[in-house]
Structure 1
């Protein structure tokens, strides 16, 4: 078990001369904190505990999470490896560069350590990404200009889309994907994508270790600590990004990460066997099979209908366009 007095281990970031903490601070959930004061407190505690990897995205809560994280990292920026995501969703490079400037302003920094294409979800996303004047050109340009150190992409729908992105030939430094015990049995990123990243020396970033909003934990299938520890134990994983919206979530991440010791293969196999009866239809991985975790910006870019019950669609209804300005309470 983890040692509560030990440091949080650092892991090598792919082939690069950089390291990050084995657990990462998820940016989306921090937007669900009670207010900016609480969000800043959680960010400060995470940095002080030794969490160095911080995740965010241009479109999370319509810019609020980047704004809050920027406030939380003020005076601490040099201590962390900061990542955000660009949300062209197949649109042009100039839009990506405008989004990058907005992200840098909100996060109160002059560069990102990692800038990633957000949420590749549709079969034509790789083609749209790599085409002339696609987002690939923005990633190259931002790197050349020193505004980002590393580049990558994320997604949680289908491992085959991840493989198609890799096969575009673009030199990605990192790839982000869901990794948890359920994933092993259903449309598996662990089975299809993780080995390919290891082969290519690309940093593998795990997300949704507790399956999004932890429904399986709430229903007693497994514990949050088990799920997080499993994801962090997978060979070749650089960091495991977990959502942190309240003190209990941060405490759990720190507890598992301090002096982290991976599960044995026997422990991992037993946990996979336990969740197998619940894994085959994606009920605890709705981000693979439903609209529940689809971002509205992505669906609109592809002219697809929205899930009107989505929290982010409801947030979008409050404004005529995504200006990137924070909510009033974020100021």
Structure 2
């Protein structure tokens, strides 16, 4: 996107979001804890903001412990990590240990076979210094052939169900970047949760997400949201050299547009949203959640106007 267009759109959202900006700038650590919402039919209640493991990736042990402690103090009880997040499991495990019995820990596997997923599960439990995870998810189910594989003979679902019987996992879910695969997965197996992008640009510019949300609600599945603060793809020349090393997409402008985007997502029937891995966006998300108010009509109009013509980070039809 051209710089002048970006500046114009950022100005529009900033004007509409002045209230959101003062909301989180006035008080760094408000006394009101982050509210919790029910997670589908599981009986669990999770903080409306989740702690993504990328926040502690490549951080020191001390820094990791500090940000985890701050998150818990502010009401966060939902933590999510994956083996593909660099050294995030190594950092999160020790930092989370003092609070483990009081938090909901989600992890993922990229393994599509029984053996691959079992190996990843055991390694994750070791690194996270725990005897179980509360939610174990198939990571980034995108292709229909992957769904066929995990649900077929010798597939990773065999590990999931066995691990549940063993007490090593409590709930089974999946994350997904394909609307078609998401809907098919929800039809074919009684998953406990789904983790997928709920984002204003994707909904308005790509029609990506509404069909997943509808199907998940029909099935009573716990809905967890990704990419609330995402905006578009990095320009071609910046894809490998951009100012957000923990964010492969271009996030919404900080802080006003990002605040609006998160509030837009939280206004949908979801349990929780996981913000970008950059610490400043995560802290902004906690600020917004502690003062959360649904978007007003003029704020939503400004946000959606700023998304017109942007390249969505995901599109329909990417399930082949």
* Selected match of 1:77 from 93, 100, 111: 100
In 2, the alpha carbon distance for the partners of 1:216 and 1:46 equals 21
1:5 aligns with 2:39: no
Relative to structure 1, the CA distance from residue 256 to residue 200 in structure 2 (aligned partners, 3 Å threshold; closer, same or farther) is: same
The equivalent of 2:53 in structure 1 is 27
Q: What is the DSSP-based 3-state SS (H/G/I as helix, E as strand, rest coil) of the residue aligned with 1:114?
A: strand
Deviations 1:146-174 (A, max 9, x none): 11111100022x21111122222x11000
* Selected match of 1:202 from 217, 221, 226: 221
Q: What is the DSSP-based 3-state SS (H/G/I as helix, E as strand, rest coil) of the residue aligned with 1:124?
A: helix
In 1, the alpha carbon distance for the partners of 2:297 and 2:211 equals 19
In 2, the alpha carbon distance for the partners of 1:20 and 1:60 equals 22
The equivalent of 1:164 in structure 2 is 184
Deviations 1:235-256 (A, max 9, x none): x20100113443x233212210
Q: Quote the offset at 1:102 in angstroms.
A: 0.7
**Is contact 2:260–2:295 with CA below 8 Å preserved after alignment?**
no
Q: What is the DSSP-based 3-state SS (H/G/I as helix, E as strand, rest coil) of the residue aligned with 2:50?
A: strand
RMSD (Å), alpha carbons: 2.4
Aligned length: 276
Q: Quote the offset at 1:185 in angstroms.
A: 2.4
Structure 1 gaps of 5+ residues are: 292-301, 303-331
The equivalent of 1:146 in structure 2 is 167
The equivalent of 2:235 in structure 1 is none
The 10-residue stretch of structure 1 (23-32 or 220-229) with the greater mean CA deviation from structure 2: 220-229
* Selected match of 1:60 from 85, 106, 113: 85
Deviations 1:19-47 (A, max 9, x none): 000010111242143x2321221111111
Q: Quote the offset at 1:216 in angstroms.
A: 4.7
User: Please, what TM-score do these two structures have when normalized by structure 1?
Assistant: 0.77
**Is contact 1:216–1:222 with CA below 8 Å preserved after alignment?**
no
Structure 2 gaps of 5+ residues are: 1-19, 25-29, 231-246
User: Please, what TM-score do these two structures have when normalized by structure 2?
Assistant: 0.79
In 1, the alpha carbon distance for the partners of 2:288 and 2:305 equals 22
1:230 aligns with 2:280: no
In 2, the alpha carbon distance for the partners of 1:214 and 1:9 equals 28
Q: Quote the offset at 1:94 in angstroms.
A: 2.1
**Is contact 2:107–2:137 with CA below 8 Å preserved after alignment?**
yes
**Is contact 1:31–1:245 with CA below 8 Å preserved after alignment?**
no
Relative to structure 1, the CA distance from residue 184 to residue 269 in structure 2 (aligned partners, 3 Å threshold; closer, same or farther) is: farther
**Is contact 1:7–1:259 with CA below 8 Å preserved after alignment?**
no
1:1-331 residue pairs with structure 2 within 5 A?
4-33=30-59, 35-61=60-86, 64-88=87-111, 90=112, 92-156=113-177, 158-168=178-188, 170-211=189-230, 212=247, 215-218=250-253, 223-234=257-268, 236-246=269-279, 248-264=280-296, 267-278=299-310, 281-282=311-312, 285=313
**Is contact 1:142–1:148 with CA below 8 Å preserved after alignment?**
yes
Relative to structure 1, the CA distance from residue 221 to residue 41 in structure 2 (aligned partners, 3 Å threshold; closer, same or farther) is: closer
